[in-house]
Structure 1
Amino acid sequence: MTDSHPRRRFLKITAVGAGVAGLAGASLAGANRAAAVTSGLTALTHPGVLHSRADLDRMRSKVAAGAEPWLSGYNVFRSDRFSSSSYVMAGGRATVTRDPAGSPGNTELWYDCNAAYQNALMWYITRDTAHATKALQIIRSWTDALRVINGKDAELAAGIYGAKLAAAVEIMHYTGPAGSWSASELAATVAMFKNVFVPRIDIYGDGGYGLMGLKGMTQIAVACNDLRLFDDAYNAFMTHSCCGLTKLIRSGTGQCCESGRDQAHTQLILGSLAEICQTGWVQGLDMFGASGSLLLSGYEYTAKYNLGGTVPYDAAFGRCNWHWDSVSARGSFRNIYEIAYNHYVRRAGRSAPYTEQVARRLRPEGDGTQCDHPGFGTLLFTL
C-alpha cells in the first residue's frame, strides 16, 4: 500500500519524551505526564477512528469482488450477532456501573457499542440502510439516556466502550445516508461523550487500566473533532509514567508490564496500543514507529511466548503499583494480530515472524473479546 498522506513521513516518531524510564515500583501518585508533547497536527482527518475512507472503500470493494482473504473475513463478520440489522437494542440506560460488586447496565452498554460499530461497518460495506438505521438507533438511544458511568472500574467502561462507540459515531457521521442524522443530534452525541465519558477517562491510571482510558480518549477526541483532547491522549501515549508506551512495553525485550499477570491482559494492552496507533496512522502520525517500533517488539515477545518459545523475563518491570515474580502461564490468542501484522509486515516491510505466524493461525479473525477490541482484523485491516 502506498503512503498517500504527506505528513506520515514528516511526523515519524523515533523516541518518546524524557522522564519516562526508571519508575518501576513508583507509586501511582507519582505518575506524571512529563514535558508535554503534541502531535503537531493542525486539524483532524475524518473519517478517522480506526478506518480512513480509503480503508472503508477497500473493505467494500474487496468484498464485492469476492477477493480473499477479505471475503472470508467478511463472512465471519456478518455472521456475528452484533452485525445484524435485526439486533435488539439493550439500552440506553441513565446509569452504567462497572464494579466487581455488581455492574447494572454494563453488559447492555458494551453489547450496544459492538452492535453500533458493526452495523456502521455493515452499512458502508453493503449499503443496506437497515444497518445504518440500526447503528443510529443505538447511538441516539444512549445519547438521550446516558448520564453517569460509575463504579470501581468506571475508567475501563468509559474507555473501552467509549472507543467502540466513537468508532461507530465516526463512520455514521461522515458516511451515513444523507439526512439520516441531524446537526443537533450529532451535537448531543458529542456533548454526551464530553460530559459522561471524558471525565472518567482523563485520569490515566496505572498500566493496562490507564491505557483503556487513553484509548478511549484517542478515539473520542477524533469523533468529537477535538484536537486538544487528541493531543492530551497523544501526550499520555508518549510520556505518561504509568501508562505510556515505554512503561507498558520494556525496551530491548518486548516484555509487557502485565506479562506476569496473565496473557489475556497482556494481549488486551497490545491490541489497545495497536488501535491507538492505527487511529494515529489515519491522522498522519506513525505512532506504530514510536520508540523504535516498540509495539512490534511487544507483539513478537508475546506471540513467541504463547507459541511455546522461551522469552526473557524481568520481574522488576511491571506496573507502577504492582510487579509479578515470573511470566504468567501461556494462554490462548486474542484476535489482535492482523492489525499489527498488516502494518509492520505488509505496509512497513518489517520482519515479524511470530506475529505473522499467529495472524495466519487465526485467519480469518473473529470477534474482539466482549467489547475489548474491534476484532475481525482479516476484513478490517488486511491491506
Structure 2
Amino acid sequence: MSEQQQSGTRRSPSIGRRNLLRGAIVAGGIAAAGAGALGIAQAQAYSHPGMLIQNDDIDRMRSAVQGNREPWISGWNRLINNSHSFSTWNPRPVERIIRGNNGTDPENYWLLMNDMHAAYQNGLRWRISGDTAHRDCAVRILNAWSGTLKEIGGWTETSLAAGIYGYQAANAAELVRDAPGFDRARFRTMLANVFYTLNNDFLVRRHGTCDGHYWANWDLCNMASILSIGIFNDDKAKVDQAIEYFWNGKGQGSIEHVIPFIHGDLAQWQESGRDQAHTMMGIGLMAEFMEMAWSQGIDLYSARDSAFAKAAEYVARYNNGHSVPFTKFVWYNGHNCTYNEQTVISEGGRGQIRPVWELVYSHYYGRLGRAMPNVLEMLSKVRPEGGGGDYGTASGGFDSLGLGTLAYVQERKPTTLNRLQSYNYQDRYVRHIQYDVRLDNTISPAADAQFRLVPGLADAAGVSFEAANKPGYYLRHYNYDFRLDPNNGSSTFAADATFHSVAGLADGSWRSFRSHSHPDRYIRHYDYLLKLESVSTATGRADATFRITT
C-alpha cells in the first residue's frame, strides 16, 4: 500500500447533500445494486441534458452570445473558428480503435478523438445558435461511430482511450439525445458494450498491478466515463458505481488518494511530482467528474472540506510561477508492488496552457463566492478557453472538452456596485486599504470603495460585502476589527462576513448593519476605522449608520 493509502481515512458521502435528484444520492456503498450487480442496468430518470451542459447553461450561453457580452462572446468566437465545429465535418469511423503500441496494430485513436470533439462542438453550436446543420452534423458523426465501432484495443493505453473518449462521447451525445435521426438506443449499446466494459475492468483489475500503480488520470477518466454512461443510459448502477469509487476506490483517483496532503489552504495533487501537464489534466478530469455529478444533484465539490478547491489553487499557483510546499510522495507499483518515492515537485510542463480552469472557477467562485486567486491568475493567461483542435494535434490537446469561457462562466449577481457612505461624515466612504478597512475621503483607486452587496454567505436573508476589485474577498470582522479577507469556504468565515440590514440607528431612511454572528453588535466606525461594537449612545448610533449608494 502507498503512504497515503496507509494514513488516509476513507469517507462516505453524507445523506442530505444536494438533493436535486430523487434518489440519486449514494449513502455509503453502491446503492441497492451491490458489487455483484455493477453491469446490470437499473432504471433511473436522470435529468437531461445533465452532464457538463444543462439547460440553464444553454440559456445563459445563448443570451450572452446574442447580447455580444464578454467573456462569453470571446468563447463563442473561439468555438466557431475551430474547424471541429464546422457542420461540414466528415466522420471517419472504424471497427477497431487502437491506442498503445501492442507490436502489431498501428495506432488510430486520433480518429475517434477528433470525431468526438467535432460532435461535441457541433452539438454545442446547435444548442446556442439553433442552426440545425450543426445538429445534423453531430448526429451524423455519432451515428457513424455507433454503427461501426466494435472494439478498443492496443496496449494498456486502451484504458485511457476507453476512459477519455468514453466520457467525451457521452457528453456529445447528451447534447443531441432527442434530435431527429439520432439512434440513441444504438449509441447506448455502444457505450455500454465497448466503453463501459473496459472502464469497469480497469477500475477492478488495473491490468493486474498494485492498487497504486497507475497515475490518478487513469482512474479519473474511467470514473468519468462510467458516470457519464450511467447518466446517458439512465443506468443507476453505473452512476452509483462511479460515485462509490470516488469515495472509496483503491486506486489513485479516489478523493482520499488523489489529494494525498493538505497544506493549509493549498493541497498537493497526486501527480505533482510527475509533471505539470498530467497534473493539469487531472484537475480537468476531476472538475468534469464533479460537474457531471453536480448536474444530477450530487455535490462532490465539497468533499473533504472542499479539498479539490485547495488542490486547484495549489496546481494553479505553482504553474503561475510561485512556490508551493511539497511533501514526499510514496507509492508502490508494478505487479510486485515496488517502492517508489518523489521528494520534489516536478517542473516538467510547468506553465503549460490547458483549458481546465474555467469550470473550477465557475463553481467555487461563480456559484459559491469563494476566493480562488491563483486560479483567477491562471485564467488571465488562458481566456478564452478553446476546445479540441485549439491546442495542437497531440492527444494532450484533446484530454478535456474545454470551451469553458463560453460554457461555464457564471455571472456574479447582483452586478451593481455600491459604496457605503458615512452618516455623520458624509464626505467619507468605507474602503479597504491593503486589506484594512476604514472611512476615507480620498478614494484612489475608486474600486477600493466599491462593493457588491450579495446574499449573506451564512444567511441569504442577510448581506455580505464583496470587494469589487478582489473577487471572493469580503468585509469580515475578526476580534471585532474589520478587514478584507478571502472567503475560504468555512462556516466561521461565512458568519463573520454576514450582516443584517436594518433601519438606520440614527436615521431610519439610512441603514445600519447588525452582525450575524454577534447579533448585539453593529458595524460602526471609530477614529475612521471600522469596528464591530454594541451601540448605546447617540454618537455610536450615528457612527453605525450608513447610506448605500451606487
* TM bucket normalised to smaller: 0.7 to 0.9
Q: Does 1:285 align with 2:298?
A: yes
Shift of 1:311: 1.1
**1:354 aligned partner:** 374
1:153-232 pair list within 5 angstroms: 153-174=157-178, 176=179, 179-181=180-182, 185-202=183-200, 203-204=202-203, 205=206, 206=214, 207-232=216-241
Structure 1 unmatched runs, 5+: 1-6, 12-16, 18-34
Shift of 1:80: 0.8
Shift of 1:318: 5.2
Structure 2 unmatched runs, 5+: 1-15, 21-25, 34-42, 207-213, 335-339, 389-395, 411-550
Residues 230/73 of structure 1: CA separation in 2 closer, same or farther (3 Å cut): same
Q: Does 1:379 align with 2:379?
A: no
**1:86 aligned partner:** 88
Amino acid aligned to 1:331: G
Q: Deviations over 1:192-217 (max 9, x none)?
A: 11110001111224322121111111
Residues 67/293 of structure 1: CA separation in 2 closer, same or farther (3 Å cut): same
Q: Distance in 2 between matches of 1:327 and 1:140?
A: 44
1:244 to 221, 230, 254: 254
**1:296 aligned partner:** 309
Higher relative contact order (CA 8 A, sep 6+): 1
**2:343 aligned partner:** 325
Amino acid aligned to 1:172: V
Shift of 1:246: 1.8
Counterpart of 1:97 in 2: which secondary structure?
strand
Counterpart of 2:176 in 1: which secondary structure?
helix
Question: What TM-score comes out, normalization by structure 1 length?
Answer: 0.86
Counterpart of 2:268 in 1: which secondary structure?
coil
Shift of 1:317: 4.7
Shift of 1:275: 0.1
Contact 2:383-2:405 within 8 A present in 1 as well:
yes
Q: Distance in 1 between matches of 2:354 and 2:32?
A: 30
**2:358 aligned partner:** 338
Contact 1:140-1:189 within 8 A present in 2 as well:
yes
Q: Distance in 1 between matches of 2:352 and 2:295?
A: 30
What is the percentage of aligned positions where both structures have the same residue? 33
Residues 244/299 of structure 1: CA separation in 2 closer, same or farther (3 Å cut): same
Counterpart of 1:288 in 2: which secondary structure?
coil
Q: After alignment, is 134-143 or 212-221 more displaced?
A: 212-221
Q: Deviations over 1:134-179 (max 9, x none)?
A: 10111111101100001121111011011111011111014x3xx3
**1:20 aligned partner:** none
Higher helix share: 1
Amino acid aligned to 1:381: Y
Q: Distance in 1 between matches of 2:162 and 2:190?
A: 12
Q: Distance in 1 between matches of 2:375 and 2:248?
A: 26
**1:25 aligned partner:** none
Q: After alignment, is 153-162 or 42-51 more displaced?
A: 42-51
Contact 1:161-1:371 within 8 A present in 2 as well:
no
Contact 1:237-1:244 within 8 A present in 2 as well:
yes
Counterpart of 2:293 in 1: which secondary structure?
helix
Q: Distance in 2 between matches of 1:46 and 1:293?
A: 26
Contact 2:320-2:351 within 8 A present in 1 as well:
no
Counterpart of 1:340 in 2: which secondary structure?
helix
Residues 275/320 of structure 1: CA separation in 2 closer, same or farther (3 Å cut): farther
Q: Distance in 2 between matches of 1:136 and 1:373?
A: 21
Q: Distance in 1 between matches of 2:101 and 2:343?
A: 25
Residues 58/82 of structure 1: CA separation in 2 closer, same or farther (3 Å cut): same
**1:316 aligned partner:** 329
Contact 1:257-1:317 within 8 A present in 2 as well:
no
Q: Distance in 1 between matches of 2:116 and 2:332?
A: 29
Q: Distance in 2 between matches of 1:222 and 1:344?
A: 24
Counterpart of 1:209 in 2: which secondary structure?
helix
Counterpart of 1:150 in 2: which secondary structure?
strand
Q: Distance in 2 between matches of 1:141 and 1:104?
A: 20
For the pair shown, the structure with the greater C-alpha radius of gyration is 2
Contact 1:251-1:294 within 8 A present in 2 as well:
no
Counterpart of 1:287 in 2: which secondary structure?
coil
Shift of 1:103: 4.5
Q: Does 1:370 align with 2:390?
A: no
Q: Distance in 2 between matches of 1:209 and 1:351?
A: 30
Contact 1:37-1:238 within 8 A present in 2 as well:
no
Question: What TM-score comes out, normalization by structure 2 length?
Answer: 0.60
1:100-179 pair list within 5 angstroms: 100-101=101-102, 103-152=106-155, 153-174=157-178, 176=179, 179=180
Contact 1:96-1:103 within 8 A present in 2 as well:
no
Q: Distance in 1 between matches of 2:241 and 2:223?
A: 9
Counterpart of 2:97 in 1: which secondary structure?
strand
Higher strand share: 2
Q: How many residue pairs are counted as aligned between the two chains? A: 350
Shift of 1:9: 3.7
Q: After alignment, is 335-344 or 321-330 more displaced?
A: 321-330
Amino acid aligned to 2:186: A
Shift of 1:239: 1.0
